[in-house]
Amino acid sequence: MMDRKIPVDAVPVSGDGELAELGVAAAAAAIRNGDITSESYSAALLRRARTYSDLHSFITVDESAVLAAAGDADKARAAGSGAPFLGVPIGVKDSYATRGLRTTLGVEVLGSFVPAEDSDVVGAIKDAGGIVFGKTNLVEMSFGLTGNNSRYGQVKNPYGHDHVTGGSSSGSAAAVAARLVPAALGGDSVGSIRVPASLCGVVGFKPTTGRWPKGGVAPVSHTLDTTGVLARSVEDCALIDRIVTKDAAAPPSDRTDLHGTKFAHAPRQYMELIDPETEAHFRNALRRLRDAGAEVVEIDLGDDFSRLADRLTWNLFFRETMEGVSEFLRRNNFPVSFHDIYNELKPELRETWGKVVLPGGQGYVSQEAYEATLSVDRPELQRRLAEVFTHSGFDALVFPTTPRAAPLIEHQSRFTIAGEEVGERSLAKNTVPTSGAGIPGISIPIGLTGHGLPIGLEIDAAHGQDRKLLDLARRVESVFGTLPAPA
């Protein structure tokens, strides 16, 4: 849905393409220096969002509100404001509450609900001068990895409109890739930022769990959930991270090389099922990292690593949903109950919830198994990954973010990887351990397949080392450059 209360077509369209290419830092600097106005920049992005509305990347855009906020930003700039994001529009996943702008969580039963308060992260963006451009599409209740929303539309991949975007932060990834916004907020419980970032060719940053505030954002699992961001550069992710967390740590260094950097990769765990073209790109990426001066060492995380990570992460994902959603709806004054939402889910998702989310379902995790997951399995996964960075001295763990490029929309329920038929959960196979352990991870694009679809590289760091990870990712990004814009 696009609310079009006042026309933006009256603004000259020359330069729209150039304006759309600006990232967050560049746009903020251009507005601050008086090279462009927030109003002209916002109007250009609004026109572009109209042109590419068939991507279904947004659920709601209130054009009049965007332009009014842009006008206010220009007045503030004239009055001397130095807010770091002044006048820059940001996309917001529709799981975040936004004051005065409807928040659907991707479900029809909330199609007209407008919150009275902003989520914590949105509040931080606004305090820094940023503008909420619109609410991006998502899988219903953030439960899915392909971008298929039965009410608000299947989100399409800007690099191939017949391919999926990944999910659940599907609209955020598509909007950033298509140059509709310079960045967008997302959420990640099992890979819901990094998977769509990889498939859509943008940067997706999942902070250490607990680093970013989660207030006012619909949950899946309180143990796994984290808010985060998608952008077209690591620099922009780092800038937004500093604003959201109020991290006063020293800014990133000017260093650009990788000499002395030590990367680990674990092929038995992260490449046991992988598309040959993705594998070729990843191995080429390792060669390029070595050529740039880094040391890359093969490690092994254990025979049961993947089973351990899958079991504990999906156990927590499903087991914590009902309690978390119910409490969120009550605390944030949403006018529906958990069962109101459950009863109106699309049939296949309602069936899944009936099996694994609702007590009494055949796959519902018992209290005993849940407690064992938290007290035994999760600490063991955290221990193994911590050893990579502490005892073994690696700066980062690297792997293909997803085991293949974006599947076709028509085959999103069942597709193949290296000739084996799999389901959509396979797209998160490599991102799940990072979520289960709660460590920071970032996906950056490293190239395109022969069919022009993006491939992503994930870089993980030790718990709490987010700033070091972002600085390292910036240097890795310089090795691979940026992808060309979608045609």
Cα(407)–Cα(405) distance, integer angstroms: 6
Per-residue pLDDT, 70: 98
Per-residue pLDDT, 3: 44
Inter-residue contact 405 to 277 (CB < 8 Å): yes
Inter-residue contact 217 to 106 (CB < 8 Å): no
Output 324-329 pairs: Cβ under 8 A, ≥24 positions apart. 324/219, 324/220, 324/221, 324/222, 324/225, 325/141, 325/218, 325/219, 328/218, 328/219
Per-residue pLDDT, 383: 98
Q: How many CB atoms lie within 10 A of CB 64?
A: 13
Q: Where are the alpha helices (DSSP H) in 332-431?
A: 338-343, 347-356, 367-372, 378-389
Using CA atoms, how far residue 382 sits from 169, 316, 435, 461, in Å, is 25, 15, 10, 12
Cα(26)–Cα(24) distance, integer angstroms: 6
Per-residue pLDDT, 7: 39
- Does the N-terminal peptide bond of residue 53 adopt cis geometry, omega within 30 degrees of 0? no
Per-residue pLDDT, 254: 77
Between 38-51 and 63-78, two packed helices, what is the crossing angle to 10 degrees? 160
Q: Which of 192, 306, 426, 435 is catalytic?
A: 192
Query: Would the CA dihedral through 65, 228, 220, 164 be positive or negative?
Result: positive
Per-residue pLDDT, 99: 98
Reduced to 3 states (helix: H, G, I; strand: E, B; else coil), residue 311 is: helix
Per-residue pLDDT, 1: 44
Cα(191)–Cα(327) distance, integer angstroms: 23
Active-site annotation holds for 93: yes
Inter-residue contact 258 to 265 (CB < 8 Å): no
Per-residue pLDDT, 249: 72
Cα(229)–Cα(141) distance, integer angstroms: 18
With 0.75 as the threshold, say if the pTM is over it: yes
Active-site annotation holds for 346: no
Cα(42)–Cα(59) distance, integer angstroms: 18
> What is the DSSP annotation of 170-229?
HHHHHHHHTTSSSEEEEEESSSTTHHHHHHHTSEEEEPPTTTS--TTB--S-TTT-EEEE
Active-site annotation holds for 57: no
pLDDT in tens, the chain (487 residues): 444 333 344 333 347 889 999 999 999 999 999 999 999 999 999 999 999 999 999 999 999 999 999 999 999 999 999 999 999 999 999 999 999 999 999 999 999 999 999 999 999 999 999 999 999 999 999 999 999 999 999 999 999 999 999 999 999 999 999 999 999 999 999 999 999 999 999 999 999 999 999 999 999 999 999 999 999 999 999 999 999 999 877 666 778 899 999 999 999 999 999 999 999 999 999 999 999 999 999 999 999 999 999 999 999 999 999 999 999 999 999 999 999 999 999 999 999 999 999 999 999 999 999 999 999 999 999 999 999 999 889 999 999 999 999 999 999 999 999 999 999 999 999 999 999 999 999 999 999 999 999 999 999 999 999 999 999 999 999 999 989 999 8
Q: Which of 38, 57, 93, 126 is catalytic?
A: 93
Domains of the chain (ranges, CATH numbers): 21-480 (3.90.1300.10)
Q: How many CB atoms lie within 10 A of CB 17?
A: 12
Inter-residue contact 178 to 158 (CB < 8 Å): yes
Q: Which of 42, 168, 169, 189 is catalytic?
A: 168
